[in-house]
Amino acid sequence: MLKIQNNICFKRIHITFVPSILISMMKGIKSTLLFLLISATAFSQNSGFLNLKYEENYTPTYDEVIEMYQKLDTHHENARLIEKGLTDCGKPLHLFVMNSEPEFDVEAIRNQGKAVLLINNGIHPGEPAGIDASLQFADDILRNKKEMAQILDNTVIIIIPVYSIGGHLNRSAYNRSGQTTPYETGFRGNYANLDLNRDFTKCDSENARSFHKIFSEWEPDIFLDTHTTNGSDHQYSITLVPPPPTLFPPVMETFLRNTFLPMLYTEMNSREYELIPYVNYFYHDPKQGIAMSQEGPRYSSGFASMFHTIGMMTENEIYKPYPDRVKSCYQFIEVLAEYTSENSKNIQELRADGIRESMAMKEFPVAYKLDSTQFQIIEFKGYEAVDEQISPVTGLPRFGYDKSQPYTAQIKYLDTWVPTETVPVPKFYVLPQSYREVIERLNLLNIQYSKLQNDTVLEVTVDYIDEFTSPAQPYNGHFYHNKVKTRSEVQKIKYYRGDLVIPTRQEKIKYLLEMFEPKAEDSFFRWNFFDNILDQREYFSSYGFEENALKYLEDHPEFKANFFKAREQNPELAKNHRAQLAWIYNNSEWKEKTWKRYPVGRIFQ
């Protein structure tokens, strides 16, 4: 029965993909013969229902990807390809939904108690293994290969076929210089030349806005973002950037460390392709140890963690044959989907417990460091690192790996990040309505808030940005602030009708803290959303301020005494007219209270 269906599918699909030259050659051949020829081609490629050619080092174009998902949609009533908002190049972002029945309404699916697994592909289009693997997986699960369809009984799988559509369309053999196959791929920057895997919190791209809507609508339990790395060379086709355990509340951190991550490695290693943590090495030679990478909220996995979604990235190894990259990625998706389905109820309960824990937290970490005293010893299959290999290109010595010298070693894996700074969790943030770009982002994620009904003076805790540094060159369209130092003050500030009062004790508490605490790594402040407070507005003229300054000194004898004292103690000040006026301006009531005052107020009581 299944076989007959497949034959029909092969026939239908293959006609679409047969090159025109082949069609003209075949003209006049009787239709039965044509059918047999086409089926034989399909079977020899072992590509199932779709015309995937990863075995031939070919990854599909954007149009081919969408066409293949459309075919799956047409052929299977329990699968649907949906358009979900736009991307920067004007083309829609697609979401492919697979359920056990023709039900695609999120609410209805949630009410059935199913878990949601989201897979994102092509965020870096030069890293397309996940695009092929997801297509193959969707095809296999929908035609119930190896009884796979039962996965959908407890879990809905939603796939973003290609996330950076503009990048994928920018296709060339000369993207991704470290890659020999597939022969052509897309480009890392999207249509706006943004790296979309740095855009999850600043959300500059239309792609990210559409993604935010998908994410808050579906609230995935598990999230996978597929990548390929050109880091160190070793014997593995696939590596894992894990869900960062430290970024989760205790109940989830324990689950990730003790259950989930060991399960992934054990399951993968019992199958064809072994899995190793992403080889984040200290030196070129991983024998000297590797560290768990902890990607913050600007990255996909860190973004997911803010919503208690177990998010991770696979990093295929660029130096392995493309078919192995696709098949190992496929194997990972299979393991992840099986586990999600078998544990769907537990995972959902765990997330609910995690959210409860987060909503009760008193302190929130805003900085971390890798703890060099905590590590596991893991088995690592590498190639000997060689410092003085002769380059066939330049004839000069270079660093490299000698593939004729494979080894298996026990190496250190530093797997714990510890907080180095925390801040107290307020009850509310107060956000002036003038920050419309921030409010727009809150709305994309369905953040709950109320608006002031009247102009009101509120006593709030505010931060002054005492120090910060920014790069001379922009980074992904921003002058990201490094090394932020702040000081808090309690002030009475006038707010206006329509300003936002945002309760922190809501399910998305971690998003609010990450985005509104200015020192948090990917906060709105860091990404320049509040830069208007960083320079003074009025200041003074060296000539025009004279009269007022003189009068102020005469009216305030104590202030005047302090001014004279400062002048005596500082000879430079004593010699400098403008510096003395500045001293008066910045230490008197003329001081601009809004200068460097971070405008988001905190209410603790």
Minimum CB–partner distance for residue 429 and Zn ion (Å): 33
51 vs 179, beta carbon nearer Zn ion:
179
Angle, to 10 degrees, between the axis of helix 2-17 and the axis of helix 62-75? 150
225 vs 334, beta carbon nearer Zn ion:
225
Minimum CB–partner distance for residue 167 and Zn ion (Å): 11
Distance CA 295, CA 244 (A): 7
| 3-state SS assignment for residue 442 | helix
Residues 418 and 455 sit within 8 Å (Cβ to Cβ)? no
Distance CA 585, CA 564 (A): 15
Minimum CB–partner distance for residue 127 and Zn ion (Å): 5
Nearest to 185 by CA among 255, 235, 127: 127
Nearest to 187 by CA among 208, 164, 210, 206: 164
206 vs 295, beta carbon nearer Zn ion:
295
Minimum CB–partner distance for residue 190 and Zn ion (Å): 13
Minimum CB–partner distance for residue 188 and Zn ion (Å): 8
127 vs 204, beta carbon nearer Zn ion:
127
The residue of the chain with the least Cβ separation from Zn ion equals 227
Nearest to 158 by CA among 144, 140, 139, 138: 138
318 vs 584, beta carbon nearer Zn ion:
318
314 vs 343, beta carbon nearer Zn ion:
314
Q: What is the 3-state secondary structure (H, E, C) of 107-127?
A: HHHHHCCCEEEEEECCCCCCC
Could you tell me where the DSSP H helices lie in 20-169?
20-26, 31-45, 62-75, 106-111, 129-142, 165-169
Nearest to 302 by CA among 217, 446, 202, 230: 202
Distance of CA 363 to the CA centre of its chain: 24
Strands of the sheet containing 290-291, edge to edge, are 290-291, 397-414, 375-390
Distance CA 509, CA 502 (A): 10
What residues line the site for Zn ion (CB under 5 A)? 124, 127, 227
Report angle CA 195, 199, 203 to the nearest 5 degrees. 135
176 vs 227, beta carbon nearer Zn ion:
227
Among left, alpha and beta (phi > 0; psi -120 to 50; other), residue 539 is left
Structure token digits, residue 568: 């005596």
Which residues neighbour 101 within 8 Å (Cβ) at sequence distance 6 or greater?
78
127 vs 521, beta carbon nearer Zn ion:
127
64 vs 127, beta carbon nearer Zn ion:
127
124 vs 198, beta carbon nearer Zn ion:
124
Identity of the amino acid at 108: A
Minimum CB–partner distance for residue 58 and Zn ion (Å): 20
Structure token digits, residue 185: 């791929």
Distance CA 388, CA 399 (A): 6
227 vs 596, beta carbon nearer Zn ion:
227
316 vs 344, beta carbon nearer Zn ion:
316
124 vs 308, beta carbon nearer Zn ion:
124
Minimum CB–partner distance for residue 403 and Zn ion (Å): 24
Minimum CB–partner distance for residue 214 and Zn ion (Å): 19
| 3-state SS assignment for residue 216 | helix
Minimum CB–partner distance for residue 130 and Zn ion (Å): 10
Number of alpha carbons in the 13 Å side-chain half-sphere of residue 358 = 28
Minimum CB–partner distance for residue 577 and Zn ion (Å): 56
Distance of CA 331 to the CA centre of its chain: 22
Distance of CA 63 to the CA centre of its chain: 25
Minimum CB–partner distance for residue 427 and Zn ion (Å): 39
First to last CA, the chain: 67
Minimum CB–partner distance for residue 139 and Zn ion (Å): 24
Minimum CB–partner distance for residue 444 and Zn ion (Å): 23
| E-only strand ranges, 392-539 | 397-414, 417-424, 428-431, 450-451, 456-469, 482-495, 500-503
Minimum CB–partner distance for residue 280 and Zn ion (Å): 14
Which residues neighbour 205 within 8 Å (Cβ) at sequence distance 6 or greater?
87, 88, 190, 192, 194, 196, 199
123 vs 252, beta carbon nearer Zn ion:
123
